[in-house]
């Protein structure tokens, strides 16, 4: 449990694994049970972080970005998010749900880009200090399922592939293998969720993990339903 009062849950997984979908379903369920849940995303989540997100993903000049710059920008965004929103929310006893957190850096900049894992760890430590998730849900789908989901999203939404999404297949295979190693090293914190099923089946699997760590509600909160 976090040294502060609240509960910190992060979602991880490859692109198209269904994180954003499940983050909003979980937040909705928690609200309906009377919890105060704060949803955040990385990179981004703060005004400064959203500017960094734009630089990382969409700015015209970012083709020249080096892996080291990418590592530092991800963690600049994170350092701001931790201090501006996450710590204050946890101190108020809220539940923080973050769509990606530092395991993404280990997976993408460490295993994916091939940066030294010790350096990656040190930079993450500087960015987050003692603020670590109590529970991390790693949504797991085979690459072909993720690709199909992204294709159908593309058919319904205006969608432009960003700089990170344009990396080659080998990069994403390294990221996926990296996530396997990250999860194996911390089985207590990181719960691997089979995310190949339909949205409701995945939601239920996530809820079973979240229920185990939920703090009791204050008695003034509305009754649980659903």
Instruction: State the residues that interact with ligand Z5A by CB under 6 A.
Output: 13, 15-21, 42-43, 74, 100, 104-105, 108-109, 149, 152-153, 164-165, 198-199, 202
Looking at beta carbons only, is 201 or 221 nearer to ligand Z5A?
201
Q: Quick one: how far is CA 224 from the chain centroid?
A: 27
Taking the complex as a whole, the smallest distance from the CB of residue 35 to ligand Z5A amounts, in Å, to 21
Q: Are 15 and 149 in contact (CB under 8 A)?
A: no
Looking at beta carbons only, is 153 or 181 nearer to ligand Z5A?
153
Looking at beta carbons only, is 42 or 94 nearer to ligand Z5A?
42
Burial class, 114, CB count within 10 angstroms (exposed 0-12 / middle 13-18 / buried 19+): exposed
Taking the complex as a whole, the smallest distance from the CB of residue 80 to ligand Z5A amounts, in Å, to 13
Looking at beta carbons only, is 198 or 211 nearer to ligand Z5A?
198
Task: Transcribe 87-121 into DSSP letters.
Answer: HHHHHTTPEEEEES-HHHHIIIIIIIT---HHHHH
Taking the complex as a whole, the smallest distance from the CB of residue 17 to ligand Z5A amounts, in Å, to 4
Looking at beta carbons only, is 19 or 87 nearer to ligand Z5A?
19
Taking the complex as a whole, the smallest distance from the CB of residue 183 to ligand Z5A amounts, in Å, to 16
Token pair for 21: 């979908």
Helix (H, G, I), strand (E, B) or coil at 80: helix
10 has which bridge partners? 98, 136
Q: How far apart are CA 23 and CA 167, in angstroms?
A: 25
Taking the complex as a whole, the smallest distance from the CB of residue 36 to ligand Z5A amounts, in Å, to 23
């Amino acid at each position: 449990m976090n040294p502060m009062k609240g509960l910190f849950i992060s979602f991880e997984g490859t692109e198209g694994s269904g994180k954003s979908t499940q983050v909003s379903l979980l937040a909705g369920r928690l609200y309906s049970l009377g919890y105060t849940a704060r949803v955040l995303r990385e990179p981004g989540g703060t005004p400064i972080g959203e500017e960094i997100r734009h630089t990382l993903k969409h700015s015209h000049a970012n083709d020249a970005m080096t892996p080291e710059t990418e590592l530092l920008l991800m963690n600049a965004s994170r350092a701001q998010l931790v201090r501006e929103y996450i710590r204050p929310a946890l101190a108020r006893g809220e539940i923080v749900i973050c769509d990606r957190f530092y395991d993404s850096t280990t997976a993408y900049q460490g295993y994916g880009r091939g940066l030294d894992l010790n350096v990656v760890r040190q930079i993450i430590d500087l960015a987050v200090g003692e603020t670590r998730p109590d529970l991390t849900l790693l949504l797991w789908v085979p690459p072909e399922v993720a690709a199909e989901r992204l294709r159908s999203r593309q058919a319904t939404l205006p969608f432009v592939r960003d700089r990170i999404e344009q990396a080659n297949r080998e990069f994403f295979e390294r990221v996926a293998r990296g996530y396997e190693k990250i999860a194996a090293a911390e089985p207590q914190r990181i719960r691997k969720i089979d995310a190949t099923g339909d949205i409701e089946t995945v939601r239920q699997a996530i809820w079973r993990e979240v229920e185990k760590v939920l703090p009791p509600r204050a008695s003034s909160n509305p009754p649980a339903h659903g």
